[in-house]
Amino acid sequence: MNDMLHQVEPLIPHMRRYARALVRNHATADDLVQDCLERAVSHWHQRREGDPRPWLFAILHNLAINQFRQTKSRGPHAAIDEISESSLRQDAVQEKQLMYQDVLRKLARLPEEQRSVLLLVAVEDLSYADAARVLNIPVGTVMSRLSRARERLQQEIEGTANEGKVVPLRSVK
Amino acid sequence: MTNRPITEDDLHGYVDRVLEPERQAEVESYLEAHPDVARRVAGFSSQRDLLRAALAPIADEPLPPELNLSRIIENRQRRRTPAWWAIAAMLLVSVGGLGGWIVRGEMQALGAPGGLAALTQEAAYSYNVYAPDRVRPVEIRASDATELVHWASSRLHRPVKVPDLAASGYRLMGGRVVATAHGPAAMFMYDDDHGERLVVLTRPMTSADQNAPMTAGSQGDVGGLSWANGGVGYSLVGRADPESLRPVANEIRRQAQAI
């Protein structure tokens, strides 16, 4: 268990961040991480050798998706802008805070499947292959979702959502 | 400089800084020559920086006590210690394996000796002992399935097949030969993506219930379905409502019959 402690503990802040950015609710996100850690403890022997990150994020992601399904069937809950006062206050500059809040609100408008790819790759620094393992999809699908996510977020940022004209280069799988 | 065309994937690789240095340089010179694409890529890069900056503070927050990993590990160990029933079950099974005389009285109360009810109970014992085991739930892992089949078949004196439950969403973890009051049995353990475990126990039926329809049964909070076909009994148990396991049990029965 010591080996597990060493490998998993440093990843908890990242798991928290991913969960919160994905479900956009502080308490729900922490519950998911807790659930994920409990499962990781009881299934530690089942992971593959090597970096435990894809394995942990896969458990976390699946828990989050189940959570989405449940809340969906119970009706949507109010979105919460979680990157709130406490964490950003010391960052001082009011304007920056507004920019951050704004980009997160725009991120939230992406479909879940695009949001998760973007978060795993661009924020959590998972390789494309590891993101594919987490989401249980081919790498080619990771790339096309990543491309759509960036395109769409850019349109949101530039205020041209739904009217942008973009000619993407061809994608080689 | 290679002549490979720059692809959309390269552009994302460039934004995420995962390209080989040589390719990185190629993309750079491409972007110099194509200001439209360069503008798009610059947009992706700045959105990446913005997202990282916006989300960075979350990873710096102090962890709440619920996410203290040492505590989670400790709690789990504490929960598992007073598993007297598992120890009792293990004793019962091993005594049964040696002589069978203590257990027999109990089994008779449950139905025909060695019948389906006994089989269900044996499967539940195995579940209680092995499924919570996080160190070594199985003796032989799924990667050595051939060895597992060979071992089980030789101890049960008949060909044993490992059910494939992938279509039902359960992966084989592995298995072992276990002792029951009615001789050796083969135990196979499976889990799904959420870590839910199932145990399949199979052994020759000693006397009663050589053929028996699928019957639900449970022992404490472990339950499942048992049946027998041509003198071989099967029991599928888990920590779930027995009826919810019926599709999986049907699949096992189907595979066992298709020889």
Same-domain pairing of B128 and B253: yes
Domain that holds residue B36: 9-60
Asked if the structure places residue A172 within a domain, the reply is no
- pLDDT average, residue stretch B98-112: 40
Name the residue of chain B whose CA is nearest to A20's CA: B58
At A138, which helix (H) or strand (E)?
none
The answer on A53 and A3 residing in a single domain is yes
B76–A16 C-beta distance less than 8 A: no
Each residue of B164-188: pLDDT tens digit?
998 888 999 999 999 998 889 999 9
What is the distance in angstroms between the Cα of B128 and the nearest Cα belonging to chain A?
15
Give the amino acid at B249. A
Taking each helix axis as running N to C, give the angle between helix B69-80 and helix A26-42, from 0 to 180 degrees, rounded to the nearest 10. Answer: 50
pLDDT band at B144 (very low <50, low <70, confident <90, very high): confident
Looking at the 3D structure of chain A, how many domains does it have? 2
More confident residue, A84 or B154: B154
Question: Where a domain ends, among A40, A74, A108?
Answer: A74
Whether B221 maps to a domain, the answer reads yes
Closest-CA residue in chain B for A115? B51
Chain-chain contact of B69 with A104 (C-beta, under 8 angstroms): no
- In a 3-state reduction of DSSP, which class is residue B34? coil
Dihedral, CA atoms, B188, B190, B196, B202, nearest 10 degrees? Answer: -30
Q: Provide the 3-class DSSP secondary structure of residue A53.
A: helix
Q: CATH number of the domain at B220, please.
A: 3.30.200.100
Q: Are residues B183 and B247 in the same domain?
A: yes
Residue B66 lies in a domain: no
Do residues A64 and A125 both lie within one domain?
no
Tell me the whole-structure pTM to 2 decimals.
0.56
Looking only at the bridges linking them, the beta strands covering B171-180 and B212-219 are unpaired
Give the residue from A74, A102, A118 where a domain finishes: A74
Residue span of the structural domain in which A115 resides: 83-164
Structure tokens at B26: 């190629």
Interchain proximity A123–B50, CB inside 8 Å: no
Task: Decide if A143 and B54 are in contact by the 8 Å CB cutoff.
Answer: no
Q: Which amino acid is at B14?
A: Y
CATH number of the domain at A13, please: 1.10.1740
Q: Mean pLDDT throughout A97-109? A: 91
Report the distance separating Cα A124 and Cα A126, nearest Å. 6
Domain of A88: which CATH number?
1.10.10.10
Distance from CA of B37 to the nearest CA of A (A): 9
Considering the domain boundaries, does residue A138 fall inside one?
yes
Exposure string for B26-40, b = 16+ CB within 10 A, e = fewer: bbeebbeeeeebbeb
The verdict on A45 and A96 lying in the same domain is: no
The answer to whether the CB atoms of B54 and A33 lie below 8 A apart is no
Residues B125 and B184 in one domain: yes
Residue A169 domain-assigned (yes or no): no
Asked if A171 contacts B5 with a C-beta cutoff of 8 angstroms, the reply is no
Residues with Cβ within 8 Å of residue A141, at least 6 apart in sequence: A132
pLDDT of A19-76, one tens digit each? 999 998 899 999 999 999 999 998 888 887 788 999 999 999 999 998 887 776 654 4
**Which residue among B8, B52, B58 sits closest to A147, beta carbon to beta carbon?**
B8
Q: Are residues B185 and B117 in the same domain?
A: yes
Tokens representing B190? 């499976």
Among A48, A74, A100, give the residue marking a domain's end.
A74
Domains identified in chain B, total number: 2
Tokens 């360069």: give the residue.
B38
The answer to whether residues A90 and A70 belong to one domain is no
- Compute the distance between CA of residue B55 and CA of residue B118 in angstroms, rounded to an integer: 56
pLDDT greater than 90 at residue A168: no
A91 and A153 inside one domain: yes
